[in-house]
């Protein structure tokens, strides 16, 4: 089946610091017209950081879209400092957020966070063999964080009762469970 939608017009809506928004007019395979609202984003990285005690490190931070704090794995946007290298961004975010450097860093998967309306692409890493960083990078203005490590049992309870309600963090908990099942 032909799926392609041809873009017949672009209407710029908003050119922001983090996102750009546009409205496209597309021609469907059957010839009809439709509209698509699109949020462009530079991409992001997220890191499952696992301690020697087999705990996963989460950060608590304020999230404006939902007007309250969340518990999440360390993550951040790709920016010009990274030269678009997600691995470098992952190491930088671990330094900025939890002040640790991973001697082992492994790409687990890459995916679009919400491909229905956005092109934000996230790369998820596993970081182990963590040690304190030699020099601390400055945090973003307004990057206020609480940091703690949690066992798998704690994490599973937190997903169940809604204390963890961030997509990449739920993914990380499931992956962590899979890793622990396999190592038994």
CB of 98 to a second copy, least distance (A): 14
CB of 134 to a second copy, least distance (A): 25
Output 81 or 107, the one with its CB closest to a second copy: 107
Q: What is the DSSP letter of 83?
A: T
Euclidean distance between CA atoms 89 and 15, whole angstroms: 24
Euclidean distance between CA atoms 14 and 20, whole angstroms: 5
Q: What is the DSSP letter of 118?
A: B
Q: Are 14 and 20 in contact (CB under 8 A)?
A: yes
Output 29 or 132, the one with its CB closest to a second copy: 29
Output 91 or 172, the one with its CB closest to a second copy: 172
């Amino acid at each position: 089946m032909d799926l392609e939608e041809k873009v017949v017009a672009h209407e710029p809506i908003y050119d922001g610091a983090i996102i750009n928004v546009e409205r496209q007019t597309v021609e469907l395979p059957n010839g009809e017209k439709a509209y698509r609202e699109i949020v462009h984003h530079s991409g992001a990285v997220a890191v499952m950081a696992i301690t020697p005690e087999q705990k996963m490190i989460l950060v608590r931070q304020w999230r404006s879209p939902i007007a309250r704090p969340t518990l999440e794995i360390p993550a951040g946007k790709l920016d010009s400092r990274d030269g678009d290298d997600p691995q470098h961004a992952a190491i930088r975010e671990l330094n900025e957020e939890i002040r640790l450097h991973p001697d082992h860093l492994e790409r687990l998967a890459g995916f679009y966070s919400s491909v229905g309306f956005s092109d934000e692409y996230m790369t998820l890493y596993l970081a182990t063999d963590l040690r304190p960083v030699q020099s601390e990078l400055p945090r973003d203005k307004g990057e206020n964080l609480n940091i703690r490590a949690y066992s798998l049992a704690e994490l599973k309870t937190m997903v169940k009762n809604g204390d963890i309600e961030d997509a990449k963090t739920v993914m990380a908990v499931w992956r962590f469970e899979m890793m622990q099942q396999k190592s038994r």
